């Protein structure tokens, strides 16, 4: 290995990162100034995002998104985010991109935004050596009808860049079964599937999500540990958990790093990966996540190599890309 796991240059894969959620606060504040939008209330005295709890986090997130109004804004956002990720050794990132924040889930608008995001991703790959793929995401608390529009955008633009479909937002709102139509549409278009579940909704939400949405990965999903039957199902089906411990601690989904079940899940045989979710909101990045895992759970090269291997296998990319990634992390 060329770098130790805790070096920023250690090559990493990240499967769970929201593009707007990764927006550096200074970038969003700059856009707000350019457009004379007053969102000063979402920042603290240090210029970081400020929120009280998960509901407030979603409000601050959406307020930040009001500054992102054009494909050009998303071009700049994508470049800024990927430059940040590359500084922490990320060589491959699957980023959630949301048609709802890109022209209101209108297909014609979405195509223009997506083209700008892709162009920036190509530029970032040339300049920073990081590859990005997109997972088109619906927002659960916007409702099932709006989700269908996002799924339609995903299905119409599925291909080399858009490789997956997923769902974020407030997990405890709405009925999971109501979103099955959208996930079916995406699956029929050849997209891989993931959904946030088991961060707030308990093990039962994990069970429902696997049953109704038939996803191969779960965003977070760690609450499966609270029900032995659900945990067993996750392990037997080889469901991959996109764990983001720093996010869970910052949002109080778990009380502390020490009580996060990531190591218990790994030891139980669940397929776990590590991501940073919305890094600047949680004052996190991939180096920080890895450093905490080493400090709190004693992870070393074996555990980091294991999660990286799982991430390579679970990535929604094509097989040629997977082979390239496997070589890069083994180099
Ligand atoms: Zn997330």
pLDDT digits (tens, 9 = 90+) for 220-235: 999 999 999 999 999 9
Q: Would you state the pLDDT for residue 1? A: 43
Catalytic residue among 199, 208, 242, 289: 199
Cα(72) to ligand 1 centroid in Å equals 24
Cα(54) to ligand 1 centroid in Å equals 12
The answer as to CATH 3.20.20.140 being correct for domain 12-23+71-330 is yes
Query: Which residue is it, tokens 């200074």?
Result: 26
- Does the annotation count 199 as an active-site position? yes
The residues with which 167 forms a beta bridge, in sequence order, are 138
Phi, psi of 218 (to 5 degrees): -125, 135
Q: How confident is the model at residue 241 (pLDDT cuts 50, 70, 90)?
A: very high
Cα(277) to ligand 1 centroid in Å equals 5
Q: Is the pLDDT of residue 244 over 60?
A: yes
What does the buried/exposed string (b/e) look like for 235-254 if buried means 16 or more CB atoms within 10 Å of the residue's CB? eeeebbbbbbbbbbbbbebb
Q: How confident is the model at residue 330 (pLDDT cuts 50, 70, 90)?
A: confident
- Rounded Cα distance between 218 and 198, Å, is 8
137-152 pLDDT, tens digit per residue, is: 999 999 999 999 999 9
What pTM was estimated for this model as a whole? 0.96
Cα(27) to ligand 1 centroid in Å equals 20
Cα(169) to ligand 1 centroid in Å equals 8
Cα(2) to ligand 1 centroid in Å equals 30
Name the percent of the chain lying above pLDDT 70: 99
């Amino acid at each position: 290995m060329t770098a130790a796991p805790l070096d920023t240059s250690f090559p990493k894969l990240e499967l769970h990162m929201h593009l707007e959620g990764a927006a550096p606060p200074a970038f969003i504040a700059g856009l707000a100034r350019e457009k004379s939008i007053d969102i000063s209330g979402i920042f603290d005295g240090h210029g970081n995002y400020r929120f009280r709890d998960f509901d407030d986090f979603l409000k601050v997130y959406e307020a930040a998104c009001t500054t992102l109004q054009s494909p050009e804004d998303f071009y700049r956002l994508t470049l800024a985010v990927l430059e940040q990720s590359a500084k922490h050794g990320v060589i491959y990132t699957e980023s959630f991109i949301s048609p709802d924040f890109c022209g209101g889930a209108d297909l014609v608008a979405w195509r223009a935004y997506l083209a700008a995001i892709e162009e920036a991703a190509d530029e970032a790959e040339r300049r920073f050596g990081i590859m990005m793929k997109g997972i088109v995401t619906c927002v659960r608390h916007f409702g099932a009808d709006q989700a269908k529009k996002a799924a339609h955008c995903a299905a119409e633009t599925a291909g080399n860049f858009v490789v997956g479909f997923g769902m974020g937002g407030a997990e405890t709102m709405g009925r999971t079964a109501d979103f099955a139509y959208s996930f079916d549409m995406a699956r029929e278009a050849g997209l891989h599937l993931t959904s946030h579940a088991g961060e707030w909704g308990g093990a039962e939400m994990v069970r429902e999500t696997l049953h109704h949405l038939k996803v191969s990965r779960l965003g977070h999903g760690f609450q499966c540990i609270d029900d032995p039957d659900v945990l067993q199902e996750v392990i037997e089906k080889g469901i991959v958990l996109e764990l983001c411990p720093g996010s869970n601690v910052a949002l109080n989904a778990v009380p502390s790093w020490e009580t996060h079940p990531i190591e218990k899940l790994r030891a139980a045989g669940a397929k776990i990966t590590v991501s940073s979710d919305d890094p600047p909101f949680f004052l996190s990045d991939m180096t920080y996540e890895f450093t905490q895992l080493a400090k709190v759970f004693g992870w070393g090269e074996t555990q980091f190599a294991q999660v990286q291997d799982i991430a390579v296998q679970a990535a929604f990319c094509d097989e040629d890309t997977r082979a390239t990634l496997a070589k890069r992390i083994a180099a």
